[in-house]
Amino acid sequence: MTYPTQPTASHFIDGTYVEDSAGTPIDVIYPATGKVIARVHSATPAIVERALASARAAQAQWAAMTGAERGRILRRAADLMRARNHDLSVLETYDTGKPYQETSVADATSGADALEYFGGMAATLAGQHIQLGQDWVYTRREPLGVCVGIGAWNYPTQIACWKGAPAMACGNTMVFKPSETTPLSALKVAEILVEAGLPAGVFNVIQGLGDVGAALVTDPRVDKVSLTGSVPTGKKVYAAAAAGMKHVTMELGGKSPLLVFDDAHLDNAVGGAILGNFYSSGQVCSNGTRVFVQKGIKEAFLTRLAERVGKAVIGDPMDPDTSFGPMVSQRQMEIVEGYIARGIAEGARLVCGGNRLNRDGFWLQPTVFADVTDDMTIAREEIFGPVMSVLDFETEEEAMARANATEFGLSAGVFTSDMTRAHRVAAGFQAGACFINSYNDAPVEAPFGGMKMSGVGRENSAAAIEHYSQLKSVYVRMGDVEAPY
Ligand code: NDP
């Protein structure tokens, strides 16, 4: 690799980089060119063992530090990430193919937000005092122990921080396994945390395919598993964790609705639909990929949408002017092409895009289908690529019923100038993260997570603390014990 931020080995364990070339080699491919830019090795059983042993050994001492001490380290790491945002963003762009225009404002920065937020919260974690006459109960908020984080490939830096920051704030240690498609960025997060003063073993990163993830999830030393991934993987990981009665957070996929009413501000609605479908080339779990547009505004919406999508700057992801990058991998590109072909075969009207670009790497055009109906494959299944489906509707009641008629429940959005309707619609959505006259904002202050098949638990916000800690209650009797015999 030729760029300055290159991690120096495959794994990061017990405070330092570790290599074990006996592991299966994993080529790291730059999606914009299709060229191999690095190689890491999948964790061998010996590496898995070292990571878990290190996390286990470090946990008690880490938990014994005060929240203020733990928080200071996390906040220092946040400052380092911000100071190195350029280099980290370049690395994230190599890892994922996402344009620098995005990575420089959305990846290391949102990771730093999480470290800063939960670092600040660490000192505030406390139990309760409950008076019971002369007796009393107090509660202690205690860490779970060793947490395993397993990441998807779309936001490798952010996912490592969204899981690691609340876990560490609560006094847990973590073994994090990135997706094998994007193995680099999480290593830099681990390196920066140690530079900020994190004790060895508190945050470890090991590489591997699903089998490494499965070995982590089933290990009896692990107390909690947090996965970001697809619903099928989530079902497997949830079941494996249940066998050991482990805590879980599941951040899974979606097929989220975005409702645009006749009275919506046209350009804002079009902008929301663009952000909710084409940011990160559509590889975002919370995307609003079913865009329901009321009949009165439909033609104006489609015309303006096609005009604005035509202005996407597709090109070198390192060029700050580029606003649309490649798919993460050949495989993902082919999956999405398959869905585009299904859309055409099932009778959807192609408004724009639909083709691969004739260049090296994994490039697809931003694609819009109109006249999509609820039964079409592209309206039912998660595509995880730059494919927007526009569906017509007439009444609010009809749109709500159709919006909720899905097994998923991650996100949902509404564009309207009628605020009473906006709140009624938001209340009616069966989804964990909803938006009014906006789409896909994910500030660390707001809970994030899915309903129905889109997952369990919440990341970010104070709600995440509930998923990385447990309450112990201690009853204190002040008088004598009265036993019956
Ligand atoms: P996958 O579900 O294929 O994989 C997710 C992670 O789980 C990867 O690190 C994978 O390893 C690992 N894994 C796979 N099988 C197992 C197993 N049996 N036990 C333990 N770990 C396993 O998702 P992708 O990486 O392909 O990401 C895309 C999917 O993630 C999309 O469906 C998207 O909706 C979802 N997603 C959800 C988000 C959310 O917050 N709700 C955010 C981002 C993505 P490996 O890949 O190395 O095999």
What pLDDT, on a 0 to 100 scale, did the predictor assign at position 1?
41
What pLDDT, on a 0 to 100 scale, did the predictor assign at position 97?
98
Q: What are the tokens at 429? A: 């959505």
Distance from C-alpha of 248 to C-alpha of 236, rounded to nearest angstrom: 12
What pLDDT, on a 0 to 100 scale, did the predictor assign at position 6?
75
- Could you confirm whether 295 is annotated as catalytic? no
Distance from C-alpha of 457 to C-alpha of 434, rounded to nearest angstrom: 16
Distance from C-alpha of 255 to C-alpha of 292, rounded to nearest angstrom: 12
Q: Catalytic one among 285, 382, 396, 434?
A: 285
Which residue puts its alpha carbon closest to atom 37 of ligand 1?
Answer: 252
Distance from C-alpha of 408 to C-alpha of 77, rounded to nearest angstrom: 35
Tens of pLDDT, residue by residue over 439-457, are 999 999 999 999 999 999 9
Give yes or no for residue 431 CB within 6 A of ligand 1. Answer: no
**Residue position matching structure tokens 């591997």:** 208
Sites in the chain below the pLDDT cut of 50: 1-2
Strands (E), 151-229: 173-177, 203-205, 224-228
What lies within 8 Å, CB to CB, of 173 at 6+ separation is 55, 56, 58, 59, 62, 145, 146, 147, 167, 201, 202, 203, 204
Give yes or no for residue 253 CB within 6 A of ligand 1. Answer: yes
Ligand 1 center to residue 124 CA distance, Å?
A: 33
Ligand 1 atom index nearest CA of 410: 41
Ligand 1 center to residue 151 CA distance, Å?
A: 6
Residue 471 CB neighbour total at 10 angstroms: 11
Give yes or no for residue 252 CB within 6 A of ligand 1. Answer: yes
Which residue puts its alpha carbon closest to atom 36 of ligand 1?
Answer: 229
Give yes or no for residue 127 CB within 6 A of ligand 1. Answer: no
**Residue position matching structure tokens 């996912």:** 159
Contact status, residue 229 vs residue 150, Cβ threshold 8 Å: yes
Give yes or no for residue 209 CB within 6 A of ligand 1. Answer: yes
The helix (H) or strand (E) run that includes residue 111 is helix 108-122
Which residue type does 386 have?
P
Rg for the chain (alpha carbons), in Å?
Answer: 23
47: region left, alpha or beta (phi > 0 left; psi from -120 to 50 alpha): alpha
Give yes or no for residue 230 CB within 6 A of ligand 1. Answer: yes
Distance from C-alpha of 282 to C-alpha of 366, rounded to nearest angstrom: 8
- Give CA 210 to chain center in angstroms: 17
Q: What are the tokens at 343? A: 């859309």
Ligand 1 center to residue 66 CA distance, Å?
A: 34
Q: CA geometry: angle at 236 spanning 234 and 241, to 5°?
A: 90
- Could you confirm whether 352 is annotated as catalytic? no
Ligand 1 center to residue 73 CA distance, Å?
A: 29
**Residue position matching structure tokens 């290190």:** 54
Tens of pLDDT, residue by residue over 155-178, are 999 999 999 999 999 999 999 999
Torsion sign (Cα): 12, 13, 15, 21: negative
Q: What are the tokens at 135? A: 């007796």
What pLDDT, on a 0 to 100 scale, did the predictor assign at position 335?
98
Distance from C-alpha of 19 to C-alpha of 8, rounded to nearest angstrom: 9
Q: Residue 50's closest CA among 240, 201, 262, 178?
A: 201
Q: Catalytic one among 251, 337, 382, 396?
A: 251
Distance from C-alpha of 191 to C-alpha of 111, rounded to nearest angstrom: 14
What pLDDT, on a 0 to 100 scale, did the predictor assign at position 210?
83
What lies within 8 Å, CB to CB, of 215 at 6+ separation is 45, 48
Contact status, residue 322 vs residue 288, Cβ threshold 8 Å: no
Q: Catalytic one among 92, 102, 147, 163?
A: 163
Give yes or no for residue 108 CB within 6 A of ligand 1. Answer: no
Give yes or no for residue 148 CB within 6 A of ligand 1. Answer: no
Give yes or no for residue 180 CB within 6 A of ligand 1. Answer: yes
Strands 469-476 and 135-143: antiparallel
Ligand 1 center to residue 233 CA distance, Å?
A: 6
**3 state DSSP class of 17:** strand
Contact status, residue 389 vs residue 290, Cβ threshold 8 Å: yes
Strands (E), 242-336: 247-251, 257-260, 290-294
Give yes or no for residue 440 CB within 6 A of ligand 1. Answer: no
Q: What are the tokens at 335? A: 């999956």
Contact status, residue 95 vs residue 184, Cβ threshold 8 Å: yes
Q: Residue 403's closest CA among 300, 289, 270?
A: 289
What pLDDT, on a 0 to 100 scale, did the predictor assign at position 2?
46
Contact status, residue 62 vs residue 103, Cβ threshold 8 Å: no
Q: Residue 382's closest CA among 344, 339, 431, 351?
A: 339
Which residue puts its alpha carbon closest to atom 23 of ligand 1?
Answer: 229
pTM: 0.97
- Could you confirm whether 170 is annotated as catalytic? no
- Could you confirm whether 246 is annotated as catalytic? no
Helix pair 67-83, 108-122: axis angle to 10 deg = 160
Ligand 1 atom index nearest CA of 216: 20
